[in-house]
Amino acid sequence: MFGRWFARPLRRALTRPYVHLLFGARQTGKSTLLRALVPHAHLWLDLAEPGARSRYLTRPETFVEECAALPASARRPARVVVDEAQAVPAIFDAVQHLYDSGGGRYRFVLSGSSARKLRAAGANLLPGRSMVHRLFPLTLAERPPPLDTTSPRGTLLPGFGRGEVRDPFPTADLVERLAYGELPVAVVAKERDRAALLHAYAYVYLEEELRREALIRDWPAFARFLRLAALESGTIVNYAAIAQEAGLSAPSVKSHYQLLEDMFVGFHVGAFTGSARKHVLSTPRFLFFDVGVRNAAAELPIGRATVIANAGPLFEQWVGIELWKRLQYLGGGRLSYLRTKAGAEVDWIVEHGGRVVPIEVKWTERPSLGDARHLRVLLDELGAHAPMGYLICRCERPRLLAPKVTALPWWAL
């Protein structure tokens, strides 16, 4: 098994006597990670398997009976893992019953890839009894660059160091990351197979998931929306324009965006609220959770040539996704952006640990102060609240461009 940054904090968390809920999109590695961390589970259910799903949907009390038969005590509790638990929402009620009445006889871990199914079914998410965790595609800490570098640790987000992952995934250069993304299944596949795997993920998996949960009745209209949402990923959302082109109502488009977020394949980034400037745009941006899946959903030819043809926006998305994943793992902070009607913009703004860190992203090997002009304006405006801003680019090594502006190579992010 390759190393995951989240393995260590999740291992510590699993020792605590609560029900643990691990959410994340399909193929992010939830099952693999849980099998490594809970290698001797007394009962392991995979509800993605049709036979098992049908059995427990028909008679949920079977789960209670099977758990009751396990050799367990408060001193040696039985470990029970339920994969894709959202497929049978009644499992959550059964877990609550067993947790409340079992006297510490059980340790439950439930994983899931869709929050919409649980919300629609009114599923019991075990308030006061559960700890919720999230798993994402690979971060730079888990898949290092193909360079013999000693990157700054914790420059942007202290507590997220590169050296904390043993047995990392195979290295990759920047263009490879922008073409194929960071899903483990694509990362470990041969390069010739990655495009097919990503296209299958974008359509076969999403269609199967949506139809199984009866979430979408008009699949062709949703497919048009999905392509447009992917093409516009990273930009400020224009609901009316997408609705018109997809042949949908604006409320339907908003609902579809929420559906992607509920399935953990996308997220919104709000506007920065700490600026005193007037005429600041407030509509959120939306990003797919992985640039490889985004490329597939946009029906683009997946490969290095496509990246080189329009690398800048894709690089900006990749940096935003990397920052968002780290903030989620660290359990706090906020990612936002700043854009004014006059055209001034700062790509990403990280708020974490009492600091504000403005970030610009440029596809350049030779960064200059001109590339950071909007960054410098915001730094002056924020004063002591933002002690340093960063320009993420493709320079060879970190460079101080101005007293409060550092250019960082992408691998030192």
262-295 tens-digit pLDDT: 889 999 999 998 876 777 888 999 999 999 999 9
In whole angstroms, give the CA distance from residue 270 to residue 275: 13
Instruction: Reduce the DSSP state of residue 240 to 3 states and report it.
Output: helix
Q: Per-residue pLDDT tens for 38-97?
A: 999 999 999 989 999 999 999 999 999 999 999 988 889 999 999 999 889 899 889 999
Q: Which residue's entry shows tokens 């919409």?
A: 116
Distance set, CA 197 to CA 150, 174, 190, 297 (Å): 33, 20, 10, 12
Half-sphere exposure of 298 (CA within 13 A, CB side): 21
**Looking at residue 122, what is its pLDDT?**
46
**Domain residue spans of the chain:** 7-134, 162-412
Of residues 125 and 188, more confidently modeled: 188
**Looking at residue 211, what is its pLDDT?**
65
How much is the average pLDDT of 356-377? 95
How much is the average pLDDT of 18-44? 94
How much is the average pLDDT of 306-319? 96
Give the type of residue at 299. E
In whole angstroms, give the CA distance from residue 89 to residue 234: 33
pLDDT-derived band at 306 (thresholds 50, 70, 90) equals very high
**Looking at residue 242, what is its pLDDT?**
95
In whole angstroms, give the CA distance from residue 275 to residue 376: 13
Q: What is the pTM of this model?
A: 0.93
- DSSP lists the bridge partners of residue 324 as none
Q: Per-residue pLDDT tens for 160-172?
A: 766 678 889 999 9
**Looking at residue 154, what is its pLDDT?**
52
Examine the pLDDT at 147 and tell me if it is beyond 80. no
The answer to whether residues 159 and 112 touch, using CB atoms and an 8 Å cutoff, is no
Instruction: Reduce the DSSP state of residue 160 to 3 states and report it.
Output: coil
**Looking at residue 180, what is its pLDDT?**
98
Pick the CATH number of 7-134 from 3.30.930.10, 3.30.360.10, 3.40.50.150, 3.40.50.300: 3.40.50.300
For 261, counting Cβ atoms within 10 Å of its Cβ (0-12 exposed, 13-18 middle, 19+ buried), the class is middle
For 59, counting Cβ atoms within 10 Å of its Cβ (0-12 exposed, 13-18 middle, 19+ buried), the class is exposed
In whole angstroms, give the CA distance from residue 147 to residue 173: 9
Kindly report the backbone phi and psi dihedral angles of residue 357, in degrees, each rounded to the nearest multiple of 5, phi listed first.
-125, 100
pLDDT-derived band at 365 (thresholds 50, 70, 90) equals very high
Instruction: Reduce the DSSP state of residue 246 to 3 states and report it.
Output: helix
**Looking at residue 240, what is its pLDDT?**
94
Comparing 138-142, 220-224, 285-289, 359-363, the range with the smallest average pLDDT is: 220-224
Give the type of residue at 256. H
Q: What percent of the chain has pLDDT over 70?
A: 92
Residue 246 makes CB contacts below 8 A (sequence gap 6+) with 221, 224, 225, 228, 253
How much is the average pLDDT of 218-233? 91
Closest CA to 203 of 131, 298, 134, 100: 298
**Looking at residue 160, what is its pLDDT?**
77
